[in-house]
């Protein structure tokens, strides 16, 4: 009987240790709205950025985002400012003609820019670098670009590929 109690005590201690070392972060209202948006059957591009980030600024300066938004009117673009103390960066996006586009939404994560409280994931995906660009269709993540400045011809190709069936029906199979 003592052995059984010791075993239960050990299990309880192990469970408590696991519970305290596992971090559980509640998603923000912004993340919940983005999750709802990416479930749409059409393409949705989620762009995580900040106005202070030089790579993010370079993407805006070259006009790539405005061109991308205008050339893909059926695609929703959500610009989520992160690591910016809750500021959405609307002023900078407005300067580059993005705010008034009908397929653009501008929002911000409420979190701080630095420190331990800075978000490290967004909609369940790791966030360690900005800009980060995510392409969704029907709730499925099709592409995740987390390496810095996006190459807009590559992003355009990803959007086109995301609209395809990704099927090889009718093509000859390789011999085994």
Long-range contacts of 24-27 (CB under 8 A, 24+ apart): 25/119, 25/121, 27/123
The pTM of this model reads 0.80
- List for the chain the helix, strand, coil content (%; round to 5): 35, 20, 45
| Per-position pLDDT tens, the chain of length 176 | 544 443 433 433 333 333 333 345 578 899 999 999 999 999 999 999 999 999 999 999 999 999 999 999 999 999 999 999 999 999 999 999 999 999 999 999 998 888 888 889 999 999 999 999 999 999 999 999 987 788 999 999 999 999 987 666 778 888 88
Please report the domains of the chain, with CATH numbers, ordered by start residue. 27-144 (3.40.30.10)
How far apart CA 159 and CA 74 sit, in angstroms, is 11
How many CB atoms within 10 Å of residue 38?
22
């Amino acid at each position: 009987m003592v052995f059984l109690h010791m075993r239960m005590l050990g299990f309880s201690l192990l469970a408590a240790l696991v519970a305290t070392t596992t971090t559980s972060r509640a998603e923000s209202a912004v993340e919940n709205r983005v999750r709802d948006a990416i479930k749409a059957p059409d393409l949705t591009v989620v762009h995580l950025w900040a106005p202070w980030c030089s790579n993010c600024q370079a993407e805006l300066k070259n006009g790539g985002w405005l061109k991308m938004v205008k050339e893909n009117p059926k695609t929703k673009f959500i610009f989520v400012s992160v690591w910016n103390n809750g500021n959405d960066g609307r002023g900078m996006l407005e300067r580059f003609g993005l705010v008034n586009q009908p397929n653009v939404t501008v929002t911000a994560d409420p979190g701080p820019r630095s420190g331990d409280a800075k978000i490290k994931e967004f909609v369940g995906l790791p966030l360690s670098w900005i800009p980060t660009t995510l392409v969704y269709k029907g709730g499925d993540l099709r592409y995740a670009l987390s390496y810095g400045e996006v190459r807009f011809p590559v992003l355009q190709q990803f959007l086109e590929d995301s609209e395809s069936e990704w099927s090889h029906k009718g093509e000859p199979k390789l011999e085994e």
